[in-house]
Amino acid sequence: MTTILLSCITFITLAAAAAGAATGGLGRIVGGTNARNGDFPEVVSVLEDFLLGQSEHLCGGVIINDNHVLTTATCVQDYGATGLQVMGAGTNLGGTAGYEEFKNVQRKFIHPEFNASSKANDLAVLRLSHNFVFVTGLITPADLPPTGTPEPALDTLMSVAGWGRDQYEGGLQLQMKAVNMTYLPYADCQVVFGPQLQDNNACLTGDIGKGVCEGDEGAGVFNTADRSLAALVAWHVGCDAYPAAVTLLAPYYDWIISMFEA
């Protein structure tokens, strides 16, 4: 799952790039393993719906109740709600399990303070046209971290899953991949990215050969030990050589919940 949002290149300085190891291209869920059905029941693919039964993966998302999905504003800002679809309950975008749930999007809500240039407040809530049917162990909502939830400690092991590209300029993956990375709090990550890192951002870092890539934005970031949701993948430079920025969710709890009745 490695990707780089091309727009973020404009605000990542050469100095920040020099702080990490050199890389030959964009990042990927690099070094991930195939996820099995039920491993990440909260995770969905956000798709561009071309109608006529065709769609293409754009980014990840997380189910937050039976008819709302949380993702990044960057991913969906250029699409009308009716041009979006989500897939849950499966790990293969080809629908090979036979019980995947595909839902059209009825409305999208982008955070009112989202800044497309800085990526500040990079969150969006999608309201579905029809509710998910939850099946324990297969498709379930994530528990949002309430306001005031402490952020993970330095080096906490976190899990990410998605369908992002697995190499520079590679194709999107039909099969969900998962990877474990370690958590860098805001202060530690700011050493790498400086003022480009926004409030409520933090980072994930992995060994060389492990990371996130294009198409992994919006993927949920879960504490590997207790499976609690902490953040969404926001943006990254490179795939396996630079930290990936994430958006912590606890500071946005009240706004996210308010969208259920908007």
Instruction: State mean pLDDT over 219-240.
Output: 91
Q: How far apart are CA 185 and CA 44, in angstroms?
A: 26
Q: CATH 2.40.10.10 in the chain, residues?
A: 6-35+143-251, 43-142+253-261
User: What average pLDDT is seen over the chain?
Assistant: 85
* Most confident residue range from 18-22, 145-149, 189-193: 145-149
**123 contacts: CB under 8 Å, gap ≥ 6:** 70, 71, 72, 73, 110, 111, 114, 232, 247, 249, 252, 255, 256
3-state DSSP of 43-92: EEEEEEECCCCCEEEEEEEEEEECCEEEECHHHHCCCCHHHEEEEECCCE
**In the predicted structure, residue 213 carries a pLDDT above the cut 70:** yes
**In the predicted structure, residue 20 carries a pLDDT above the cut 70:** no
Q: How far apart are CA 78 and CA 84, in angstroms?
A: 11
Reported as a single tens digit per residue, the pLDDT across 123-138 is 999 999 999 999 999 9
CATH of region 6-35+143-251: 2.40.10.10
Reported as a single tens digit per residue, the pLDDT across 136-170 is 999 999 999 999 999 999 999 999 999 988 766 66
Q: How far apart are CA 247 and CA 218, in angstroms?
A: 9
Q: Note the pLDDT of residue 96.
A: 81
Q: Note the pLDDT of residue 206.
A: 84
Q: Note the pLDDT of residue 108.
A: 98
Q: How far apart are CA 95 and CA 228, in angstroms?
A: 27
- Are the beta carbons of 48 and 83 closer than 8 angstroms? yes
CATH of region 43-142+253-261: 2.40.10.10
Whose tokens are 């099995």? That residue is 36
